[in-house]
Amino acid sequence: MIEEGIMNLVLQGGANALFAGFLFYQNRELQRRSDERELKLEAREEKLTKKYDKRIDQQEQNVIEDISRLEARTTKIEARLEAILILLNDIKERVFNGNNK
């Protein structure tokens, strides 16, 4: 039914109708290609977004682990400094008490 109408239009309209049909067909093809390209780009963007979100999460986890290790080392250093301070105070007391005797 539609083909008959198109054939009548082509036969009666001549070159202009044929050219209009070509433009219509070309427009549909270009739109289809554009839609396919857009879908591919969206899929690629989603894939990259997931990839970099995963990397960012991994980097955040690494930073958290580094901070935890630094805090542990800082605590150990503070404990050692406390022990050194106690030893220095003992030595200081012995030296001054030894001079007073």
List, for residues 50-90, the tens digit of each pLDDT value: 999 999 999 999 999 999 999 999 999 999 999 999 999 99
Strands (E), 29-95: none
pTM passes above 0.75: no
Confidence class for position 94, pLDDT limits 50, 70, 90: confident
Q: Which domain holds residue 19?
A: 2-100
Q: Is the dihedral of CA 30, 35, 39, 41 positive or negative?
A: positive
CA distance 56 to 50: 10
Residue-wise pLDDT tens digits, 40-52: 999 999 999 999 9
Q: What is the pLDDT of residue 100?
A: 60
Structural domains of the chain, count:
1
Q: What is the pLDDT of residue 75?
A: 96
